[in-house]
Amino acid sequence: MSTMTTPVETMPDVQSSVDTRRIPIQKVGVKDVTYPMLLQTNTEVLPTVAEWELTVALPAEEKGTHMSRFLELLEQYRAQPMSMSRFCQMTAAMLGLLNATEGDVTATFPYFMNKVAPVSGVASLLDYQVSWTANAMATVDDEADVQFELTVLVPVTSLCPCSKAISQYGAHNQRSHVTVSVVGHPEHLQLDSLIQTIEAQASCELWGLLKRTDEKYVTERAYENPKFVEDLVRDVAVAISQMKGVEGYRIEAENFESIHNHSAYAVVEG
Amino acid sequence: MSTMTTPVETMPDVQSSVDTRRIPIQKVGVKDVTYPMLLQTNTEVLPTVAEWELTVALPAEEKGTHMSRFLELLEQYRAQPMSMSRFCQMTAAMLGLLNATEGDVTATFPYFMNKVAPVSGVASLLDYQVSWTANAMATVDDEADVQFELTVLVPVTSLCPCSKAISQYGAHNQRSHVTVSVVGHPEHLQLDSLIQTIEAQASCELWGLLKRTDEKYVTERAYENPKFVEDLVRDVAVAISQMKGVEGYRIEAENFESIHNHSAYAVVEG
Amino acid sequence: MSTMTTPVETMPDVQSSVDTRRIPIQKVGVKDVTYPMLLQTNTEVLPTVAEWELTVALPAEEKGTHMSRFLELLEQYRAQPMSMSRFCQMTAAMLGLLNATEGDVTATFPYFMNKVAPVSGVASLLDYQVSWTANAMATVDDEADVQFELTVLVPVTSLCPCSKAISQYGAHNQRSHVTVSVVGHPEHLQLDSLIQTIEAQASCELWGLLKRTDEKYVTERAYENPKFVEDLVRDVAVAISQMKGVEGYRIEAENFESIHNHSAYAVVEG
Amino acid sequence: MSTMTTPVETMPDVQSSVDTRRIPIQKVGVKDVTYPMLLQTNTEVLPTVAEWELTVALPAEEKGTHMSRFLELLEQYRAQPMSMSRFCQMTAAMLGLLNATEGDVTATFPYFMNKVAPVSGVASLLDYQVSWTANAMATVDDEADVQFELTVLVPVTSLCPCSKAISQYGAHNQRSHVTVSVVGHPEHLQLDSLIQTIEAQASCELWGLLKRTDEKYVTERAYENPKFVEDLVRDVAVAISQMKGVEGYRIEAENFESIHNHSAYAVVEG
C-alpha cells in the first residue's frame, strides 16, 4: 500500500515552513468538535457532551499550526474529571503543546439541576446550556496567566408589566433566555448558585415536571411578579454584582414574545 | 491552460454509464439551494428568496443523474412570476429535462401579510414560512400527473385553559407554531385565507406592531379564548376541512411552553 | 399564600372533560425535552444527553392528555441503563401510564466510537448522531406490540468520480452525511456494526485525530475510491440489506459539495 | 367589548416611570424581526428579506424603552430603496424616534451575484449572507455620528497544502466559509468588489451551475492553488487591507474539513 512506502521523517512538513506575509493570526485551531467531558461539580462527577473550540495565536513568521495536537489534548484530558480549575490548567498546557504564547479554549455543554416542584414537591431535572472559556497567556517564567469566564443560559418565564397594568385580566407572558457571563477565579465561581440567583430574578423560574397544584403556583407567581426585559437584566445585574468572586459580568435577556413573532432583547455589562 | 486542451465530447461521462447493482433510487438531486423567486399572488408579484430541493427518481440501470440540469431549471424559471400552478408546470418540465419518470420540487420561503392592528389600526407586516411541494409522475402520453401540497407555518398565541381554570389570576401563555399542510389543486388553494383560517382558531393571532390599546386587546382576547395544544389542532382541523379545495390535511402545533423548557405538541391528519 | 388555599381535589380538571368535535388526535405529547440517558451498549454503560419526543394517540371523545406524566416517565427511567429493548419496554409502559392505545417515543443523542487512526494507530473518538424510535400499540390482552427503528447519521468523505475522471489531477471531495434508518427487533440490531458497515461504503471514513501518515492514507484512499451520492446510497443499501436483523431500511446521503454552495442528495428505501 | 372602554390617555404607561436601580442598559430593543428590504445596489434595486436587530441605550433613570417604535421605523423605511448610506440615516433617525443618545441597527440578508461559469460561460446566481451594522451616537448639535460595518460570508473551496504535498495523488478539499467584516464610510465600501476580492484568495471560488468543462477547471484550479485556513485569512487580509475605503477589518475562515467531523478555523483582525 502506498502509505507504507513513505517514512514520516521524509514527508514534507508544510506547516513548519516560514511565512513572509507579516500577518500574525489572533486565533487558529479547531471548532465544532464534539467530545465527551467528565464534569466535576462540587459534589459529584457528571458525564456530559461538549462542543469545543481550541485556538492559539500564531506569530507572523509561522506558516501553520499543528491541528492534530488540539485533538490530542482533548483525548488526553477526557478521562479526567474536569473542574473549572482543571479546565484552566488544560488551557495553559495547550500553550506548551502547540508552542504558542496565547490560546483560548471554550467548551459548551448541557447541564442539569435536580429541581423540586414548588407545591407538590415532585422532582425532575431542568437543563441549562453552560460555557466555559479560558484564555491563557504565556509569562516570562514559562508559566501562564489564565483568565476564566463562566456563561450560563437560564430559561425562565417573563410576564409583561404593561400588559398586566392595562388589561382587565390576564397578561402576556413567555419563555425567556437569560444568558449571563461572569469573569472570575475558577475556584470562586459557583455554577449552581449563579443559576439560582438568576432564576430568582425572573417573573417565575421553570421546572421540567409540574403537577396541577404547581401550575397554579407558577401562574400566580408570574402574575404577581411582572418584569420587562429591562427589569430582568437590571435585577440580575444587581444580584450578580453582589455575588462573591464575580469580577465582571455581561447579562443578556431575550423574551420570545407571545404576542409578536420577534423577541424583546436587552444587554447590560458591568 | 489545461482546461482548454480537452474538448467536452472526449471527456468521460461517468454518470451515463450502466449500473449493475439493481437498486433504483427514489430521489436524487440537489438540496439546500438558495435561489430567488418571484412569487405571484392573486394580486401582485412579490420577490422573495427560497430554499429549494429538486429530485428525480433514478432507475436501477442508470448510474447517475445530471446534477447541473436542476440549476438550469431554476435559472430558466427565476425571472418568471411563479404561481402555484406555474410551480407544478416547472416540476412537470423537470421530468423531460432530466429524462425521468418521477420527480419532486420543494421551495420554502418567507411570506408576508400586511396586517392592521385590532384597535389602533396601525399597519405592519407579519412573516410566515411557506412551502410548496409538487410531485410529478410521467404518464404514457408524455404528459405528467402533478400532486401539489401547500404548507404554512403560522405563529400564534396559545393560552392554557387549565392554568386559567385553576389560578386566581393570570394564565400561562406562549408563542406557538401551527404548521398546516393541505393537498389540493393549485388553482383552488388560497394561501391568505388558509393563514387567516388558522389564525382565527388560536387564542389570539400575532401582529408585528401593536400600540398599547392593541396590547390590551390581545391580552384580553387570549385570556377569553384559552386553548390546549389539542384544541388548536382540532379547531384548525374543523375549519380547514370546510375550506374549498382542500383534499387532505396535516396539522401540527407546537407550544413553546412559558412554564417549561420543552414544548407541548400535537398532530392531526385527515 | 394563595396556592395553599385550593386543595387539588377541588381544582377543575379541564383535560378530563369530554370532547365533542369528533376529531381523534394521532399524536399529542411533549417535544424538545432535554434529559440525560444512561446508554447501555453491549459492553458498557455510556452516559449521554438525549432530545426526547413522547406522544400518544388521543381518542375523539377525550379533551386532553396528561402532559406531566411524560416527564414522570422520563424521570422514572433515567437512572436505569437504557438498551434498545429497555427503550421499547418504556414505550409500552407509557401506554398504561397515559391510558392510551398507541404511542411513540423518540430519543436522539450523540454517540461516540473509539477509532484507531489507519497508519499511526493513534486513538480518538468520533461522534455520531443516533435516534431510537419505538411505536407501541396496545393489544387485546393488555400487552403491547412495539415496532423499533434505529437511525444513525454517519459523517464520511465522498470524492466525485466525474471530477476525478475529467481532471488531470485532483478531484473535488467533501464531508457527507449518510443517514440510515433500519427497522428490526431491538435485540437483533447492532449499532457499532451498522456504523462500520456504512463507513466501509464511503470514499473514506473520518477520524477525529489523524497524524501526517494518516492524512496521506485518507487522501489516497478517497482518491482511489470515488463515489457519487448515488453510489453512496446504493452501496450502503447493498451492504445493509445483507445485515442480520434488518427488516427494512431508508438511506439518505447529503454531500456538502466543495464546488457549490448547495448539496447533492439521494434517498433509497427498501 | 372591553377594549373600547379604556381611552388610551387613561392607561397606565409603565415604561415611562422612573427607575431607581441605577443601572444603565447598553442595549434594549427588538431582535429576530423578519422584514423585507429593498436593497439599493450601485445599479439596481433588489428586493430581499432581512433579519433585523434594533436597539438603543437606556439611561439608568428610565424604566423602559418603547418597543413598538422600532417596528414603526421598519415600517416607515420598508418601501424605500435602502443603500448603506440610507441605512445609516435610518439608524440616526432611530435616536430621535426613541429619545435615545445611542443606538444600533443590524440587518442580515441573502444577496446574490450573477456569475458566469469559467469555461462554458453558463450563468447562474450564487448566494452570500450579508450583514450591515450601524452604530449611531447623538452629538451636541442634535446630529448623530454613525459608524458603519459591512460583513459578508463568502463560501469557497479550500484545498489542503499538506494533504497535496504528502500524497501520491489527490488532496482533501472542502467547502469553507470566509466571513469578512470591514469598517468604513458607507459610500466608500463596495460589496461586489469585496466579494470578488475574497473569492480570488480561495483555492477556488464557487458557482451554482457548472458544466463538465467547468468542473474540470475548478478541480484543477483548486489543486494548483492549495491553501491552509491560515493562508486563507492571511491572503484575504493582505488583499482587503489594500482596498479603498476599508478602515478596519476582521477575517474569519472555517473549513468544514472533509477528513474530520470538525472544522479548522482562523481569525485575523487588523
Q: Mean pLDDT for chain D?
A: 94
Q: Hey, which chains touch D, using 3+ CB pairs under 8 Å?
A: A, B, C
- Read off the C-alpha cell for B11: 471527456
Q: b/e per residue, A188-217, with b = 16+ CB within 10 A?
A: ebbbeebbebbbebbbbbbbbbbbbbbbbb
Lowest mean pLDDT segment, chosen from B34-43, C16-25, D199-208: C16-25
d(CA B251, CA B201): 12
Q: How far is CA B221 from CA B249, D13, D118, in A?
A: 28, 20, 59
Give the one of C157, C216, C259 whose C-beta lies nearest to D258's C-beta.
Answer: C157
Helix (H, G, I), strand (E, B) or coil at B42: coil
d(CA C153, CA D141): 60
* pLDDT value at residue A142: 79
- Stretch D214-226: mean pLDDT: 98
pTM recorded for the entire structure: 0.95
Contacts of B249 in chain C (CB under 8 A): none
**If you count residue pairs, one on C and one on D, with CB atoms under 8 Å apart, how many are there?**
130
* pLDDT value at residue A7: 61
Q: Does ipTM come in above 0.85? A: yes
Q: Is there a contact between B12 and C266 if contact means CB atoms under 8 Å apart?
A: no
Interface test with A, best of C2, C212, C225, C256 (most A CBs within 10 A): C212
Dump pLDDT digits (tens) for B145-169. 999 999 999 999 999 999 999 999 9
Beta strands in D92-217 (DSSP E): 102-116, 123-138, 144-159, 173-183, 204-205
The alpha carbon torsion through B145, B150, B151, B156 (nearest 10 deg) reads -160
Q: Is there a contact between C259 and D174 if contact means CB atoms under 8 Å apart?
A: no
* pLDDT value at residue A8: 63
* pLDDT value at residue C66: 95
At D79, the pLDDT band (50, 70, 90 cuts) reads: very high
Domains of chain C by residue range: 26-269
The residue whose grid cell reads 392528555 is: C65
- Read off the C-alpha cell for B80: 418568471
Q: How far is CA B197 from CA A168, B17, B179, B237, in A?
A: 27, 52, 12, 10
Quick one: which of A9, A87, A10, A97 has its CA closest to A52?
A87
Domain B26-269: give its CATH code.
3.10.270.10
Q: Which long-range contacts (CB under 8 A, 24 or more apart) does C192-198 make?
A: C192/C41, C192/C42, C192/C113, C193/C243, C194/C150, C194/C152, C194/C240, C194/C243, C195/C113, C195/C128, C195/C152, C195/C154, C197/C236, C197/C239, C197/C240, C197/C243, C198/C152, C198/C154, C198/C156, C198/C236, C198/C239, C198/C240
d(CA D238, CA D46): 31
Q: State the first-to-last Cα distance of chain A, in angstroms, to the nearest integer.
A: 61
Q: In the beta sheet, which residues pair with residue D183?
A: D149, D248
Cβ contact D212:B8 at 8 Å: yes
- Read off the C-alpha cell for A107: 467548551
Cβ-based neighbour number of residue C203 at 10 Å:
25
Check pLDDT > 50 for residue C31: yes
Contacts of B78 in chain D (CB under 8 A): 125
- Stretch C32-44: mean pLDDT: 94
Contacts of D235 in chain A (CB under 8 A): 21
Contacts of C160 in chain D (CB under 8 A): 215
- Stretch C132-143: mean pLDDT: 93
Give the one of D49, D122, D127 whose C-beta lies nearest to B110's C-beta.
Answer: D49
For chain B, give the number of residues: 270
Cβ-based neighbour number of residue B93 at 10 Å:
16
Q: Is there a contact between B75 and D125 if contact means CB atoms under 8 Å apart?
A: yes
* pLDDT value at residue C74: 98
With the C-alpha atoms ordered A22, A23, A24, A30, is the resulting torsion angle positive or negative? negative
Check pLDDT > 80 for residue D15: no
Cβ-based neighbour number of residue A143 at 10 Å:
12
Determine what percent of chain A falls in helix, strand and coil, rounding each to the nearest 5: 30, 40, 30
Hey, what amino acid is at D216? K
At B251, the pLDDT band (50, 70, 90 cuts) reads: very high
Q: Is there a contact between B230 and C263 if contact means CB atoms under 8 Å apart?
A: no
d(CA A149, CA A185): 8
- Stretch D132-161: mean pLDDT: 96
d(CA C16, CA D76): 49
Helix intervals (H) in chain D: 68-77, 84-98, 161-166, 191-200, 212-223, 229-241
Give the one of D3, D34, D210 whose C-beta lies nearest to B220's C-beta.
Answer: D3
Contacts of B220 in chain D (CB under 8 A): 2-3
Q: In the beta sheet, which residues pair with residue B150?
A: B132, B182
Contacts of B26 in chain C (CB under 8 A): 267-269
d(CA D80, CA D36): 11
The alpha carbon torsion through C87, C93, C97, C102 (nearest 10 deg) reads 90
Q: Hey, which chains touch B, using 3+ CB pairs under 8 Å?
A: A, C, D
* % residues pLDDT > 90 (chain D): 90
Cβ contact A130:A152 at 8 Å: yes
Q: Hey, which chains touch A, using 3+ CB pairs under 8 Å?
A: B, C, D
The alpha carbon torsion through C34, C40, C45, C50 (nearest 10 deg) reads -10
Hey, what amino acid is at D255? N
Cβ contact D175:C174 at 8 Å: yes
At D88, the pLDDT band (50, 70, 90 cuts) reads: very high
At C241, the pLDDT band (50, 70, 90 cuts) reads: very high
Q: Is there a contact between B71 and D208 if contact means CB atoms under 8 Å apart?
A: yes
Secondary structure letter of residue D261 according to DSSP: S
d(CA C157, CA C257): 11
Number of H helices, E strands in chain D: 6, 9
Secondary structure letter of residue C89 according to DSSP: H
- Read off the C-alpha cell for B202: 388560536
Check pLDDT > 70 for residue D121: yes
Hey, what amino acid is at C172? H
- Read off the C-alpha cell for A232: 430582568
Q: Is there a contact between B219 and A175 if contact means CB atoms under 8 Å apart?
A: no
Q: Is there a contact between A223 and B167 if contact means CB atoms under 8 Å apart?
A: yes
Q: How confident is the prediction along chain A (270 residues), in pLDDT tens digits per residue?
A: 333 445 666 788 877 788 888 999 999 999 999 999 999 998 899 999 999 999 999 999 999 999 999 999 999 999 999 999 999 999 999 999 999 999 999 999 999 999 999 999 999 999 999 999 999 999 988 789 999 999 999 999 999 999 999 999 999 999 999 999 999 999 999 999 999 999 999 999 999 999 999 999 999 999 999 999 999 999 999 999 999 999 999 999 999 999 999 999 999 999
Say how many CA atoms lie within 13 Å of C185 toward its Cβ. Answer: 4
- Stretch D216-234: mean pLDDT: 98
Dump pLDDT digits (tens) for B166-207. 999 999 999 999 999 999 999 999 999 999 999 999 999 999
Give the one of A53, A263, A268 whose C-beta lies nearest to D23's C-beta.
Answer: A268
Lowest mean pLDDT segment, chosen from A17-26, B200-209, C89-98, D154-163: A17-26
- Read off the C-alpha cell for B184: 389540493
Check pLDDT > 70 for residue D5: no
Q: Which long-range contacts (CB under 8 A, 24 or more apart) does B10-14 make?
A: B11/C165, B11/C166, B11/D212, B11/D213, B11/D216, B12/C162, B12/C165, B12/C166, B13/D212, B14/B63, B14/B64, B14/C161, B14/C162, B14/C165, B14/C228
Q: Is there a contact between B228 and C254 if contact means CB atoms under 8 Å apart?
A: no
* pLDDT value at residue A9: 67
- Read off the C-alpha cell for B31: 438540496
Nearest residue on chain A to B177, judged by CA atoms? A261
* pLDDT value at residue D38: 96
More confident residue, C43 or D154: D154
* % residues pLDDT > 90 (chain C): 90
Quick one: which of C221, A70, A187, B78 has its CA closest to D112?
B78
The alpha carbon torsion through B12, B15, B19, B24 (nearest 10 deg) reads 180
Q: Is there a contact between C215 and D166 if contact means CB atoms under 8 Å apart?
A: yes
Kind plus residue range of the DSSP H or E element containing B116: strand B102-116
Cβ contact C98:A50 at 8 Å: no
Check pLDDT > 80 for residue C9: no
Kind plus residue range of the DSSP H or E element containing A238: helix A229-240
Contacts of C24 in chain B (CB under 8 A): 268
